[in-house]
Chains A and B, each alone.
Chain A
Amino acid sequence: MQDFITKTVAAAEGQPQRLLEMLRAVQQAYGYVPPDAVEFLSAQLGLPRGEISAVVEFYGFLSSSPQGVYRIVFSDSITDRMLGNQALFRLLADLLQVQPGVVSSDGLVSLDFTSCTGLCEQGPAALVNGWPLPALTEDKIARIAGLVKQRIPLLDWPGYLFEVNDYIRQPGLLLQNPIAPGQALQAWRERGAAAVLEELEVSGLRGRGGAGFKTALKWRLCAEEAGPERVVVCNADEGEPGTFKDRVLLRLYADQVFEGMTLCAAIIGARQGFLYLRGEYLFLLEPLRQILRSRRELGLLGENISGFGFDFDIEIRLGAGAYICGEESALIESLEGKPGVPRNRPPYPVARGYLQRPTVVNNVETFLAAAAIGVYGGAWFAAAGAGRSSGTKILSISGDCARPGIYEYAFGVEMAEILRDCGTEDVLCVQVGGPSGTLIDSSELQRKLSYEDLASGGSLMVFNRGRDVLGIVQNFTHFFAHESCGFCTPCRVGSRLLQNQLDKIINGHGSAGDVAELTGIAHLLKNYSHCGLGQTAANPVLHALQRFPELYESRLKKISYEPGFDLDAALEVARRMARRDDPAAHLAQTEEEAHD
């Protein structure tokens, strides 16, 4: 193993920042990160072993105990559930004779769930050793079970199992007007940094990840920071359930995204760039590296780009299964090879980001748009959109609709129009912007897609009448509790309290006081959490409470208080020990019951 670690460390140039990449390699080779590997890495990198273990135990795709030779995880986004992932999961578990979360006794396979894998329009989906298995069916599950049992190496599995499709249903301004490689840089060269930045200002472009910070201002602030080294980071960690547009953009428009990053580097004076790619998109890694190579060959990356006398290159770093890394400062921590715990702010990344260097972090779509604006101008972009939301937004639409996929709309479009386009009927509610966004019901379809009204980082999920709203809320609430980084008290404890409290009500053990308690916990999460994850974690509970209060009420018992556990069952052990089963050895669940 020591040789393997030595080679792995060498491949990562001995940089502690690339620890995640080394740990991914160890995980792949050994099926887990053995204690010896931690020791060797600690010695060779000069990092305390505790810090390495902390990274292993933080990321979902790394494990400190052995996993199966075939590690299969099912995406458990609500859209996967609606497409029947639970039944397929049970079928595979039966065929392979394994228990969820437990490695099979022969060490062959482990089976579990994971958060949304970004294949919502072609679910139910799973990952096998990190590779995507979209659009699962009973036939495919049977085939997969057979391949696993015969121990067929992944490379020899039939290609159709891994076929990911890109469904662009409605292209708009950006998707219909791609630029040629080098075109935006040429514009920068001809007009100068100040003029391009001015165009960006005119365009009104704001961050497409959801937060909506003005892009021109962010670049300007970073450029004004003192210090010799600046960094450009592209956030491709789209983990918000229901979002998959960056996956499609990186498949079909990656060259333009890289051009946007390079344009940013030229303007702010950066030499180093990163694309932080979510671990679930491992299958995009090699194709993206190929595009980087071809850009280097064309002189669009590397030293003295296009003979313009500036140097810039882009490195791709993979995540390892942590939603929180989509938060920009957590992403930077992860880029540095640490657990993805959001930083305290100020200082902001534009002042002190990667390795304390001034850093611009933007979403994939923001860089895509910036490159186009560099070529076509700010007015071209600002002609679309409305108010303080200019330009277009690319949406990932999934759930109950005839044509799930990618849609590009000018901001200001009404929900009703979007729903008509994607083919919906009998809509009950729509989740705009993912679980952290907004739940609207069918009376709100005149509301508009915009930063001022309904903001979205890209996710839009449709639910028909007949869907169980509380089940959806429960899925989202469990998601946040699972993905909380655990740094701050309100989110670490509060997200779990919220989950338990909601489960209690849904399972029929709640009373009126329990609903009030839900809002109390929600208040603490929203106001005191360290970052956006905790601050929005209670949105699903609250939004559903505002719109569908009768659903909560229908689950409540008509009593003042009910314990969250079964009192009589809890006495079972005591009864056995005392060898009693007389009426006095039993307890009624509530006083009301006792008097019946």
Chain B
Amino acid sequence: MTKCINIDGVNVPFEEGQTIMQAAENAGVYIPHLCHHAGYAPHGSCKLCSVRVNGRVCTACTFPAAEGQSVINNSRELQADRRRLTQMLFVEGNHNCPSCEKSGDCRLQAVAYYLRMEDDHFPLFYPPRPLDSSHPDILIEHNRCIVCSLCVRASRDIDGKNVFAVSGRGAHKHLIVNSPSGRLGDSDISTDDAAAHICPTGAILIKGQAFHRPIGQRLYDLERIDGSPHAGEASHEA
């Protein structure tokens, strides 16, 4: 007999060793997330996938699925709090969607739309953050980094290169490049690397391709991040 967990009243099968997120993804149940990516080691840092498991808050991307779990994913309270967490990610960096090359393909932006985020809510930090354009083909726009560490894991676990690391503490947490100068141009990253493509925001970009696909025809222009169609003006409702 297949083992199941229950997410928002629906039975979702899982295999031993899977996380709640893996079980949900296999069943086509969307749980908002940014630092999680299928096939990558779980990280559990963005906290957007926080769900209530038998009443307790856990991150779906790290918590093991177990028989009899009752998981609340899509509640008013969770969606409202996830919206606040997303707003935190926006105010700690410098995100300007209308002028960003990634707009429409950006998972941060798409999650924000999904969660109906309509303002920043919190005061902006305006941190001074540099741009690293030293590499001929790949750009790091630190202003948009949300320190999810997907590029760190991609480079280490998939590319076998360790091009990136996350350094600093607290508010000073930031992405660093593992090269003698600390610049991307002196690292051995290449455009074929998973690390060059995994960024959920516009922080790591392939140069010269920004507007190959026009705005309006991009991934999340066509459908919402949970796979559902855009519902007209629904996203403007409270």
B171's nearest neighbour on chain A, judged by CB, is A496
Question: Chain B contacts of A575 at CB under 8 A?
Answer: none
In the complex where A50-B162, A496-B171, A528-B57 touch, is A489 in contact with B50 (Cβ < 8 A)? no
Asked whether A57 and B172 contact (CB < 8 A) given A490-B47, A520-B84, A524-B85, the answer is: yes
Partner of A48, one of B84, B89, B165: B165
The smallest beta-carbon distance between A330 and chain B, in angstroms, is 11
Task: Given A346-B64, A488-B47, A527-B81, decide whether A50 and B92 contact each other with a Cβ distance below 8 A.
Answer: no
Q: Are A497 and B45 in contact (CB under 8 A)?
A: no
Contact check, A50 vs B177: say whether CB atoms are below 8 A apart. yes
Q: Could you tell me which residues of chain A, from 484 to 521, have a CB within 8 Å of some CB in chain B?
A: 484-490, 492-497, 500, 520
**Assembled-state Cα–Cα distance A321/B218 (Å):** 47
Chain A residues with CB under 8 Å of B170's CB are 481-486, 492, 495-496
Q: A50-B176, A344-B44, A564-B123 are in contact. Are A489 and B89 (CB under 8 A)?
A: yes
Chain A, 386-431, CB within 8 A of any chain B CB: none
Contact status of A486 and B169, CB under 8 A, knowing A344-B44, A527-B57, A564-B123: yes
Whether the Cβ atoms of A58 and B47 lie closer than 8 Å is no
Q: How far is the CA of A306 from the CA of B5 in the complex (A)?
A: 52
Q: Is A54 located at the chain interface by the 8 A CB criterion?
A: yes
A166 at the B interface (CB under 8 A) = no
Q: How many angstroms between the C-alpha atoms of A368 and B89 in the bound complex?
A: 44
B191 at the interface (CB under 8 A from A): no
Among A322, A346, A493, find the residue whose CB has the most chain B CB atoms closer than 10 A: A493
Q: For B50, B173, B176, B177, which residue has the most chain A Cβ atoms within 10 angstroms?
A: B173
Interface size class of A (residues with CB under 8 A): 35 or more
Query: Does B232 lie at the interface of the complex (its beta carbon under 8 Å from any beta carbon of A)?
Result: no
Q: Check if B92 sits within 8 Å of A57, measured CB to CB.
A: no
With contacts A322-B169, A492-B171 taken as known, whether A54 is within 8 angstroms of B88 at the C-beta atoms is no
From residue 56 to 110 of chain B, which have CB atoms closer than 8 A to chain A? 57, 59, 62, 64, 81, 84-85, 88-89, 91-92
| Other-chain contact of A500, B44, B62, B88, B123 (Cβ < 8 Å) | B123
Beta-carbon contact of A486 and B172 below 8 Å: yes
Report the nearest B residue to A38, measured CB to CB. B180
Contact status of A344 and B88, CB under 8 A, knowing A53-B165, A54-B167: no
A591 at interface by CB-CB < 8 Å: no
Per a CB cutoff under 8 Å, which of B45, B46, B88, B178 touches A50? B178
B64–A54 CB distance below 8 A: no
Q: How far is A344 from B35 in the complex, measured between Cα atoms in Å?
A: 14
B203 to chain A, nearest CB (A): 15
B42 part of interface (Cβ distance < 8 Å): yes
Cα separation A50 to B178 with both chains bound (whole Å): 5
B47 touches A530 (CB 8 A): yes
Q: Add 19 more A-B contacts to A489-B85, A527-B57 (CB < 8 A).
A: A51-B165, A54-B168, A54-B176, A57-B167, A322-B169, A339-B169, A484-B171, A486-B168, A486-B172, A489-B46, A492-B92, A492-B171, A493-B91, A493-B122, A494-B88, A496-B92, A496-B125, A520-B84, A527-B81
